[in-house]
Structure 1
């Protein structure tokens, strides 16, 4: 499901650059552990190239006070809540790892084999009462994830960011892509 992730500018030069771009644009993305409804740094389409903004993580749900934070890659083009956002407003969540909980409520942090490499998570955004809000996409888990949870984020390589944001054909095909193998660490927190 991916209910939290890390955004640590002090831990990674690329994430620090993304943070600096957001701040220089007048945005204030949350750093450290990012929770649903937080303002998070996002890479979004710009007129000529991608740009960095911050945006609330989560769409308004069907009930008062409910927040939808994830969209399934398998159904994102069919679900009315997400289809337009996916078609018109794709974005990328820059992270330094994400968290997932197993059935025993054990918390695990997931990263690439080398923790220094950022994880880029595919997402989309839309406007609600003229305010942009985002969701990240999830997919079926691979071998590195399946023992912990039955979903995982849709993870992009750095060189796939522009294609995800600007290339409709690439984005549609990527919805069923195989995900990279990750490492996990039990952080012993509920």
Structure 2
């Protein structure tokens, strides 16, 4: 699964990375070191002509849900069963998003308990996790926009740490994932297949896993101490 991640870059770096007009939105992002489920996360969608940046609550609440309590249980969506789950099927076809990150956490079991690792690109660059979003109307008529992170089987780097990992998209595949006219449905099998082919483990040789302090274990902690390697002096 993917239950915590980081986004420590600046607002300016986000705008540049995703080709967003800085005049189109008021800044809201600050560096985050321990992003957790049910919190608001930065996300990218495409409106048919340009990329747009905003915030979504992490934990998908389907548009047809009776209440919002399902969100906490839907922080991740398995890539292998997107079309089998009613909550994910239509978002996969029509409401795909990018969730920017520069690292995610997983905990490896050992004789002393669990050791947290921060996993990211070897280059240290920002990357995009494949996500889905949906909009639920509250009883009072307000819109609640939520999202989930898609996961896949682990690559060789992740196997010793955890049995799942987020789908990380290559930069050249992000536009396809966001493309609104790429209607992934049973009526467009070739388009559907092109999207499914993106849902695979990121190359292990381009990633690294760094052991970090157990400071990250508590969602109350959101400081640079969370990402500091315990191997450093």
TM-score (norm 1): 0.86
Cα distance in 2 for residues equivalent to 1:38 and 1:30: 14
Which residue number corresponds to residue 119 of structure 1?
127
Cα distance in 2 for residues equivalent to 1:58 and 1:71: 10
CA apart distance, 1:106: 1.3
Does the alignment pair 1:153 with 2:166? yes
TM-score (norm 2): 0.71
Which residue number corresponds to residue 83 of structure 1?
89
Q: What are the equivalent positions in structure 2 for 1:141-180 lying under 5 Å apart? A: 141-166=154-179, 167=182, 168=184, 169=191, 170-175=194-199, 177-180=200-203
CA apart distance, 1:143: 0.2
Deviates more, 1:47-56 or 1:147-156: 47-56
**Aligned residues: CA RMSD:** 2.6
User: Can you give the 5+ residue segments of structure 1 that lack an aligned partner in the other structure?
Assistant: none
Which residue number corresponds to residue 59 of structure 2?
58
Which residue number corresponds to residue 222 of structure 2?
none
Which residue number corresponds to residue 230 of structure 2?
none
Contact 1:57 1:135 in 2 (8 A): yes
Q: Deviations over 1:143-186 (max 9, x none)?
A: 010100000000101111111111442212222x3422120011
CA apart distance, 1:105: 2.1
Aligned residues: 187
Larger radius of gyration: 2
CA gap of 1:89–1:66, structure 2 versus 1, over 3 A, is closer
Partner of 1:94, secondary structure, is: strand
Contact 2:103 2:119 in 1 (8 A): yes
Q: Deviations over 1:87-123 (max 9, x none)?
A: 11000111111111122321100011111x1121001
Contact 1:29 1:39 in 2 (8 A): no
Q: What are the equivalent positions in structure 2 for 1:1-150 lying under 5 Å apart? A: 1-10=1-10, 14-15=13-14, 17=16, 25-26=25-26, 28-29=28-29, 31-32=31-32, 33-60=34-61, 64=69, 67=72, 68-103=74-109, 104-115=113-124, 117-129=125-137, 130-150=143-163
Q: Deviations over 1:40-72 (max 9, x none)?
A: 111112131221111111124989476120000
Contact 1:56 1:132 in 2 (8 A): yes
